[in-house]
Amino acid sequence: MHQTLLTADAWQRILAFSANKPTPCLILDLDLLREKYRELTTAFPYASVYYAVKANPDVAVLQCLNQLGANFDIASVFELDKLLALNIPAERMSYGNTIKKARDIAYAYEQGIRLFASDCESDIRKLAKFAPGSRVYVRVLTEGSDTADWPLSRKFGCQRDMAIELILLARDLGLKPWGISFHVGSQQRDISSWDAALAKVRFIFDQLAGEGVQLEMVNMGGGMPATYKSRRHDIDEYGAAISRFIEEDFGGSPPHIIIEPGRSLVAEAGVLVSEVVQISTKSQDSHDRWVYLDVGLFGGLIEAVGEAIQYPLAWEGCGETLDEVILAGPTCDSMDILYEDHRYSLPVDLEEGDRLYWLSTGAYTTSYSSVEFNGIPPLKSYILE
Ligand SMILES: *Cc1c(COP(=O)(O)O)cnc(C)c1O
Give the position, in ligand 1's atom list, of the atom nearest the Cα of 150.
7
Q: 153-176, pLDDT tens digit by residue?
A: 688 999 999 999 999 999 999 999
CA distances from 84 to 58, 74, 112, 233, 241 (A): 14, 11, 10, 36, 36
Give the position, in ligand 1's atom list, of the atom nearest the Cα of 75.
15
Q: 332-375, pLDDT tens digit by residue?
A: 999 999 999 999 999 999 999 999 999 999 999 999 999 999 99
Measured by CA distance, the residue closest to atom 3 of ligand 1 is: 222
pLDDT of residue 43: 98
Residue boundaries of the structural domains of the chain: 31-265, 268-384
C-alpha 41/C-alpha 28 separation (Å) is: 20
Q: 375 alpha carbon to ligand 1 midpoint, in Å?
A: 30
57 Cβ inside 6 Å of ligand 1: no
Percent of the chain with pLDDT over 70: 99
Helices then strands, each counted (H, E), the chain: 10, 18
pLDDT of residue 190: 95
The yes or no reply on domain 268-384 and CATH 3.30.1180.20 is: no
3.50.50.60, 3.20.20.80, 1.10.3720.10, 3.20.20.10: which CATH number matches 31-265?
3.20.20.10
- Local structure of 244: helix, strand or coil: helix
Give the type of residue at 354.
Answer: D
pLDDT of residue 143: 80
Give the position, in ligand 1's atom list, of the atom nearest the Cα of 260.
10
Q: 177-203, pLDDT tens digit by residue?
A: 999 999 999 999 999 999 999 999 999
Q: 247-283, pLDDT tens digit by residue?
A: 999 998 899 999 999 999 999 999 999 999 999 999 9
Q: 222 alpha carbon to ligand 1 midpoint, in Å?
A: 4
What Rg do the C-alpha atoms of the chain give, in angstroms? 22
Which of 326, 293, 294 has the alpha carbon at shortest distance from 307? 326
pLDDT of residue 23: 98
Residue 2's pLDDT band, with cuts at 50, 70 and 90, is low
Q: How many CB atoms lie within 10 A of CB 216?
A: 13
